Amino acid sequence: MFYLVLKDNICVSAVCKAWRKAAKSVRVVEKHPWVITFPKHDDLNILLDPLERKKYTLNLPELAGTDVCYSKNGWLLMRRSSLVDMFFFNPYTRELINLPKCELFFQAVAFSSAPTSGTCAVIALRPFTRFIIRISICYPGATEWITQDFFRNMTT
Asked if residue 55 and residue 71 are part of one domain, the reply reads no
Range 118-133 average pLDDT: 86
Asked if residue 49 and residue 8 are part of one domain, the reply reads no
Q: Give how many domains the chain has, as a whole number.
A: 3
Task: Choose between 144 and 154: higher pLDDT.
Answer: 144
What is residue 82's predicted lDDT score, i.e. its pLDDT? Answer: 64
Range 115-124 average pLDDT: 92
Asked if residue 89 and residue 153 are part of one domain, the reply reads yes
SS3 74: coil
**Chain segment 9-59, per-residue pLDDT in tens:** 788 888 899 888 888 887 766 656 777 777 666 677 777 877 778 888 878
For the chain, where are the E strands, in sequence order? 35-36, 44-49, 54-59, 66-72, 75-80, 86-89, 96-98, 108-111, 122-127, 132-138, 146-151
Asked if residue 129 and residue 56 are part of one domain, the reply reads no
Asked if residue 89 and residue 38 are part of one domain, the reply reads no
Asked if residue 144 and residue 89 are part of one domain, the reply reads yes
SS3 20: helix
Instruction: For Cα atoms 100, 105, 106, give the angle at the middle one, nearest 5 degrees.
Output: 95
Asked if residue 127 and residue 90 are part of one domain, the reply reads yes
Work out the burial of residue 122: count CB atoms within 10 Å of its CB; fewer than 13 is exposed, 13-18 middle, 19 or more buried.
buried
Asked if residue 101 and residue 85 are part of one domain, the reply reads yes
What domain range includes position 85? Answer: 65-156
Asked if residue 142 and residue 98 are part of one domain, the reply reads yes
Among residues 9, 43, 62, the one where a domain terminates is 62
Among residues 21, 47, 62, the one where a domain terminates is 62
Asked if residue 52 and residue 6 are part of one domain, the reply reads no
Asked if residue 10 and residue 55 are part of one domain, the reply reads no
pTM here is 0.68
Residues in CB range of 21: below 8 A, 6 or more apart: none
Asked if residue 149 and residue 76 are part of one domain, the reply reads yes
Residues in CB range of 73: below 8 A, 6 or more apart: 3, 113, 114
**What's at 29, amino acid-wise?**
V
